[in-house]
Amino acid sequence: MRKVAVIGVGQSKFGELWDYSFRDIVLSAGIEAIEDAGLEGREIEAMYIGNMSGGRFLAQEHIAALIADYSGLAELHIPSTRVEGADASGGLALRQAYLAVASGLHDIVIAAGAEKVTDVGEKAVEILSSGLDREWEVFNGVTLASLFAIIARLHMDKYGTRAEDLAMISVKNHKNAVRNPKAQFKREISIDVALSSPYVAEPLRVFDCAPVSDGAAVIVLASEEVARKYTDTPIYISASAQATDYIALSSRRDFTTMDAVVFAAREAYKKAGIEPKDIDVAEVHDSFTIAELLAYEDLGFVEKGKGAELIREGVTELDGELPVNPSGGLKACGHAAGATGIRQAVEITLQLRGEAKGRQVDAETGLTMNIGGTGATAVVTIFRR
């Protein structure tokens, strides 16, 4: 397997982008990434596009061909492939692009993620719930929020986690997002504000839940030999691992553990030749605040049941020992389902380059963790400067 480097990154703003079409946001992210890499479009050999549900959000299938067309790459006739895994679609697209370069199949590949969801209004929540077991969960009235609420309540009962701990995660991520010009929510909140917001699914409140966002993100990957022709600061992907669990929460071994994350993380650490303690910065999937707390544990940053200690002690703050979600995470930067896994990779690349203005941390090794649904799919990727 060849070494693979990130040589270009780009991202649209995230949020309710009423004045921009799906094509607009993809093009803005793609142009930024191509310019960042110093490439010409004709040098791209393949594209992998993470998209959860264009058919329902846009009534548009054949997303990969659409993006190739409007990116001006259709005339090159390169392979353009859509990758779907609910809100892990971006992470999966990144992994497929990585494998295409590592295997020697291609030298320069784009990994992209995009979703335009707000135009469908309240139906967005229903569509996002299609990442669950529709027959055994959704048809019985379950939503993503209610399942994560069950997880949160069980974690509280079993390990003594408090609502205040979850609120602190939200406060941290909003504070980080203020420093991110591409973030959806650029304002700080207090613990009191978070804890006084309405319940969505008890014990989870409004400020425990990530928004439904529009957005796109793009990264350009290249083999080590090619990368050195374009940049003096390549960011290498040391490992990419994927794992799968039961789609229905009721079938899982332990409701308070995302086993797919545990297994993907173990494989990624093994391939990269490192341990959890070697990670300097992480972008994790905080679709709900309890998901970030579980990530602390399931990624091996702390033993099971003690995730709350990291947020209480400031370990995961921007100036802590292990900053988590310096971008603001899904909670405050925004969650455009198919784009999230790529957006995480964009943030880690900027951090390792030293280009995350206003929110820069000291890091040489970074990690992204992207999940689908309640964790039936997990992708863990490790980056090194």
DSSP string, 47-63: EEEE-S-HHHHTS---H
* Contact (Cβ atoms closer than 8 angstroms) between residue 287 and residue 335: yes
Which of 51-55, 192-196, 243-247, 265-269 shows the lowest per-residue confidence on average (mean pLDDT)? 51-55
Q: 64 with 150, same domain?
A: no
Identify whether residues 117 and 162 lie together within a single domain. no
For 192, the 3-state DSSP assignment is: helix
Owner of token pair 């990969």? 64
Q: What per-residue confidence (pLDDT) applies to 121?
A: 84
pLDDT score, position 126: 87
The continuous run of DSSP H or E covering 9 comes out as strand 4-11
Q: 324 and 362 in one domain?
A: yes
Q: Is residue 116 located within the same domain as residue 163?
A: no
**pLDDT range class, residue 198, cuts 50, 70, 90:** very high
Q: Are residues 293 and 200 in the same domain?
A: yes
* DSSP-assigned letters across all residues of 194-226: HHHSPEEETTEEGGGBPPP-BEEEEEEEEEHHH
DSSP string, 13-41: --B--TTS-HHHHHHHHHHHHHHHHT--G
Choose the most confident range, by mean pLDDT, from 50-54, 55-59, 130-134, 265-269: 265-269
Residue 28 and residue 170 share a domain:
no
How many Å separate Cα 22 from the centre of its chain?
19
**Mapping DSSP to helix (H, G, I), strand (E, B) and coil, where does residue 276 land?**
helix
DSSP string for residues in 144-178: HHHHHHHHHHHHHHHH---HHHHHHHHHHHHHHHT
Q: Looking at the structure, do residues 273 and 338 belong to the same domain, yes or no?
A: yes
Residues 6+ apart with CB under 8 A from 233: 353, 385
Looking at the structure, do residues 76 and 202 belong to the same domain, yes or no?
no
**Same domain? 282 vs 356:** yes
Domain count, the chain: 2
| pLDDT over 70, % of the chain | 100
Tokens for 87, please give them.
């809100």
Provide, rounded to the nearest whole percent, the portion of the chain with pLDDT above 90. Answer: 93
3-state class (DSSP) for residue 299: coil
- 162 phi/psi in degrees, rounded to 5: -115, 160
Residues 290 and 152 in one domain: yes
Closest by CA position to 334, among listed 209, 224, 246: 209
Tokens standing for 325? Answer: 């979600």
Q: Where are the beta strands (DSSP E) in 245-354?
A: 281-284
The yes-or-no verdict on residue 177 having pLDDT over 90 is yes
Distance CA 86, CA 67 (A): 19
DSSP state of 81: E
Q: Mean pLDDT over residues 348-357, rounded?
A: 97
Band (pLDDT 50/70/90 cuts) for residue 122 is confident
Cα 198 to Cα 137, 165, 193, 330, 332, distances in angstroms? 24, 17, 10, 19, 17
Q: Counting beta carbons within 10 angstroms of the beta carbon of residue 273, is it exposed (0 to 12), middle (13 to 18) or buried (19 or more)?
A: exposed
Burial of residue 219 (number of CB atoms within 10 Å: 0-12, 13-18, 19+): buried
Helix (H) or strand (E) holding 94: helix 89-102
Q: How many whole angstroms separate alpha carbon 357 and alpha carbon 338?
A: 25
User: Looking at residue 338, which CATH number applies to its domain?
Assistant: 3.40.47.10
pLDDT averaged over every residue in the chain: 96
Mean pLDDT, rounded, for 16-45? 95
Q: Are residues 68 and 81 in the same domain?
A: yes
The 3-state DSSP class for residue 283 equals strand
Q: Is 160 exposed, middle or buried (0-12, 13-18, 19+ CB in 10 A)?
A: exposed
Query: Which two structure tokens, joined as six digits, stand for 51?
Result: 């998209």
Give residue-wise pLDDT tens across range 254-309.
Answer: 999 999 999 999 999 999 999 999 999 999 999 999 999 999 999 999 999 999 99
Domain finish residue from 235, 270, 286: 235
Residue ranges making up the domain that contains 288? 127-209+239-384
Same domain, 202 and 229: no
Whether 3 has a pLDDT exceeding 90, the answer reads: yes
The Cα 98–Cα 2 span in angstroms is 10
pLDDT of 43 > 90? The answer is yes
- pLDDT reported for residue 241: 98
